[in-house]
Amino acid sequence: MRKRSLNPEKNRALMAAFRNFVNDTGIGHSTIAHELGISPGTILQWMHGTIKPRSPTLVAIKCFLERKGPAYLRAAQQDNQADREQSKWHSFLK
């Protein structure tokens, strides 16, 4: 039986979503690496397009985003909101 890989178009979309997730949340590469069981350097190489993740890793990334993504995004949004509220007294920041 042949291993099925993800559609290349879906792979690109998934990696774009992953990059956006990392940028939007500010979550550290080491945190994600720990979650996925890989090295932080590997994530940096993905982010820079030096290497492409293999199919099992893409599945793991998809599961990570589905499982953990919403919680990390909510936390980042709350942090950003707290920062904005805390800085309101600085009129020059408006």
User: Bigger pLDDT: 88 or 57?
Assistant: 57
The CATH number assigned to the domain with range 10-79 reads 1.10.260
CA distance linking residue 66 with residue 58, whole number of Å: 12
Contact 19, 47 (CB under 8 A): yes
> What does pTM read for this prediction?
0.68
Sign, CA torsion 8/30/65/84 = negative
Tens of pLDDT along 67-89?
Answer: 877 777 677 667 666 554 544 43
CA distance linking residue 44 with residue 40, whole number of Å: 7
Predicted pLDDT at 85: 52
Contact 47, 22 (CB under 8 A): yes
Tens of pLDDT along 17-52?
Answer: 888 888 878 888 888 899 888 999 998 898 888 988
